[in-house]
Amino acid sequence: MAESSPFLQYVAEEMYTRRYAKRTIETYLHWIKFFILFHKKRHPKDLQDEHVEQFLTHLAVNRNVAVQTQALALNALSFLYKEIIKQPLALSLNFNQAAKPRKLPVVLTKPEVKRLLTCVDPQYLLLAQLLYGSGLRLMEAVRLRVNAIDFDYLSLMVWHGKGGKHRRVTLAPELVEPLRRQISLVEAFYQQDMQTVDFAGVWLPFALARKYPAAPKELGWQYLFPSARLSIDPQFSVLRRHHIDESGLQKAVRFAAQKATIGKNVTCHTLRHSFATHLLEAGMDIRTVQEQLGHTDVKTTQIYTHVLKQGGNAVKSPLSQLL
């Protein structure tokens, strides 16, 4: 997207310099481009607060976007005017607030989850099992690294999850052997990559890469679900092995839902919703479920149920009841 406009390319470079996450850069560029097109391709420096208000009102009234979507667009424009244009927006903009109600999560029953997992392409089965068995978000699963697995304590470490937070989540013991086999696959790729002259190692967050300069070429930091091919890192123009493309897992879950004749709108996130709901149904206390999901506010977790039973302290993965 940014390549089509020198201005957007400049914004992208500024965000890279400030160490913004790749997904954040892509999202902000999307809304900034949308804002420019909405105002007939006028340059943002020629637009004022009222033009931002008009755009945000358009999103709410004509596009009927969710509250979170409108807020994300505002964040992108706030960054644009504060850091790029150097003219911060007013603190009290006057625009129509989006009022589209938040959708209730789609949740599968345990028999539906079992049918779904039975129909998932074997190539993506372990990932789908982790989504449900550990309540991972899509990108948390595909970004897992070898050293994130704690076999001794049957848990996974999620680093830099949503909001940059870290947390420890439960791991179903039934997945220990499949994970060991997956690590063997990673080792095979690793040995092959280390024989490649131009291999620069796996990508690491900036602070971590500075603190441990040798880490990119250590086995423990390699992605647990690596891409089948090496590719050029667009930011640093070096050869790396990235993680698999998440779109493959998304397609596999959707196809499995159709094959299992599940009449619900099933996505990867549905497995995370089901994880939380089944834990609560089993009597797990809501604070523990909140920690497992990585929610900042318990109110976010409360969407899954209104009647909670206080359970024990140990977290047992619901996947264990299926396998």
- Catalytic residue IDs: 137, 162, 269, 272, 295, 304
* Residue from 214, 210, 185, 186 nearest 200 by CA: 214
Helix, strand or coil for residue 18? coil
Q: Each residue of 204-226: b (16+ CB within 10 Å) or e?
A: beeeeeeeeeeebeeeebbbbbb
How far is Cα 141 from Cα 131, in angstroms, rounded to an integer?
7
Torsion of CA 96, 100, 101, 104, to 10 degrees: -150
Q: Locate 162 and state its tokens.
A: 């949503």
How far is Cα 232 from Cα 241, in angstroms, rounded to an integer?
8
Per residue, the 3-state secondary structure of 61-95, as one string, reads HCCCCEHHHHHHHHHHHHHHHHHHCCCCCCCCCCC
Angle at 19 between CA 74 and CA 43, to 5 degrees: 45
Helix 122-134, helix 268-281: angle, nearest 10: 40
Query: Exposed, middle or buried: residue 237 (CB in 10 Å: 0-12, 13-18, 19+)?
Result: exposed
How far is Cα 265 from Cα 257, in angstroms, rounded to an integer?
8
How far is Cα 243 from Cα 229, in angstroms, rounded to an integer?
10
Q: Locate 133 and state its tokens.
A: 């068995």
Torsion of CA 212, 218, 220, 224, to 10 degrees: 120
In degrees and rounded to multiples of 5, residue 285 shows phi and psi of -70, 150
